[in-house]
């Protein structure tokens, strides 16, 4: 009779997705030799060769791929069993690993963790700041339990199978200009077409934000922007506007309520927006995850100052925002 060790099956499933022992070790916090030893023991347990040499590394055999497909089913069932058992107790405990892009982590995830710390001390919430492109594979593998993903108007993201997407928050996009910029003075919406000759700050290629800025400049302004500055951090983009004279197009959640060095303006051609989604794996929810989702929903329904339009009346006394 073959006895399967779920932990070793998880290592196998990770290898199928990540492709190398080193990548599995990095993801799970083990040494490559420890991963190799555990997978060798798994081969002995099942009595089959699961790996074969491939260049300087190894790859799955047909038997390895077959067992990895069964491992996915078994691990999903085991997670469901743990969730069902946890639901039988009155005191909610457990670990929830959550991730989101920077603005969502700062404005939504951290406040939700703070609420949960007070209301449910048995729950351990762990926050990781990851770009969506990094976090989705981790969510599917189970190393992340909840992800906040973004989606810009006109740039929908794929909806991978096995994941659940729920709308959490909607917000407008704002053009961010240096306060001395001629188009900032009137306080009226600014045409993107009028920013053809400006230097832009955006995120790196391959991100939703980068695609949105390029797409908006092309479709609304008829030009390819000079994307001279590329960085993930919205605060760095804002600093490039303040000190280097760049312009940016950013979601409201990333902006301060007021800033005497920059002006926030609507896009004249049409309204542009961003939606934030909570992404979780399909299947039964552990009580700890359900509790975190409730806290996150409360925060998103009343995010306070982080969710209101920057208002010139909020500028510090003696320093007026136009």
User: pLDDT of 179-220, one tens digit each?
Assistant: 999 999 888 999 999 999 999 999 999 888 999 999 999 999
> Taking 90 as the threshold, does the pLDDT of residue 31 lie above it?
no
Q: What average pLDDT does range 271-279 have in this prediction? A: 95
* All residues at 6 or more sequence positions from 322 whose CB lies less than 8 Å from its CB, including other chains: 179, 184, 185, 187, 263, 312
Q: What average pLDDT does range 297-315 have in this prediction? A: 56
H/E segment holding residue 78: helix 62-86
The pLDDT value recorded for residue 311 is 38
Helices (H), 109-263: 110-119, 132-141, 208-216, 234-244
The residue count for the chain: 322
The C-alpha R_g of the chain, in whole angstroms, comes to 24
Q: Please state, in angstroms and rounded to a whole number, the distance separating the CA atoms of residues 22 and 30.
A: 9
* CA nearest to 120, candidates 318, 295, 316: 295
> Taking 60 as the threshold, does the pLDDT of residue 245 lie above it?
yes
Structural contact between residues 204 and 134, judged by C-beta atoms closer than 8 angstroms: no
* CA nearest to 59, candidates 18, 4, 9, 107: 18
> Taking 80 as the threshold, does the pLDDT of residue 79 lie above it?
no
Per-residue pLDDT band for 318 (boundaries 50, 70, 90) equals: very low
Q: Please state, in angstroms and rounded to a whole number, the distance separating the CA atoms of residues 11 and 192.
A: 50
Give the pTM.
Answer: 0.71
Per-residue pLDDT band for 290 (boundaries 50, 70, 90) equals: very high
Higher pLDDT, 318 or 125: 125
CA distances from 241 to 19, 220, 253, 309 (A): 41, 21, 17, 18
Higher pLDDT, 101 or 98: 98
> Taking 50 as the threshold, does the pLDDT of residue 322 lie above it?
no
Q: Please state, in angstroms and rounded to a whole number, the distance separating the CA atoms of residues 214 and 196.
A: 12
């Amino acid at each position: 009779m073959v006895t399967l060790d779920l932990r070793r099956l998880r290592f196998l499933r990770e290898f199928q997705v990540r492709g190398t022992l080193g990548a599995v070790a990095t993801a799970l916090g083990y040494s490559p030799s420890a991963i190799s030893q555990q997978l060798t023991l798994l081969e002995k347990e099942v009595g089959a060769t699961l790996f074969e040499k491939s260049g300087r590394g190894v790859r799955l055999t047909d038997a390895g791929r077959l067992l990895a497909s069964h491992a996915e089913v078994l691990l999903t069932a085991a997670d469901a069993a743990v969730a069902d058992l946890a639901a039988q107790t009155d005191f909610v405990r457990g670990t929830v690993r959550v991730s989101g892009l920077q603005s969502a982590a700062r404005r939504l995830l951290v406040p939700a963790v703070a609420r949960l710390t007070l209301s449910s001390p048995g729950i351990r919430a762990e926050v990781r700041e990851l770009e969506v492109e990094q976090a989705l594979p981790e969510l599917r593998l189970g190393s992340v339990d909840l992800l906040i993903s973004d989606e810009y108007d006109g740039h929908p993201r794929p909806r991978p199978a096995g994941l659940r997407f729920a709308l959490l928050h909607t917000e407008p996009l704002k053009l961010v200009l240096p306060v001395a910029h001629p188009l900032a003075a009137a306080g009226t919406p600014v045409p993107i077409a009028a920013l053809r000759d400006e230097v832009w700050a955006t995120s790196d290629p391959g991100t939703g934000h980068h695609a949105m800025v390029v797409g908006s400049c092309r479709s609304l302004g008829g030009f390819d922007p000079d994307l001279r500055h590329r960085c993930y951090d919205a605060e760095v983009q804002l600093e490039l506007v303040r000190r280097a004279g760049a312009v940016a197009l950013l979601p409201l959640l990333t902006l301060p309520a007021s800033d005497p060095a920059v002006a926030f303006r609507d896009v004249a051609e049409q309204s542009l927006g961003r939606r934030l989604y909570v992404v979780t794996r399909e299947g039964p929810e552990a009580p700890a995850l359900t509790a975190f989702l409730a806290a996150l929903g409360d925060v998103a329904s009343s995010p306070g100052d982080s969710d209101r339009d920057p208002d010139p009346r909020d500028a510090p006394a003696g320093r007026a925002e136009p």
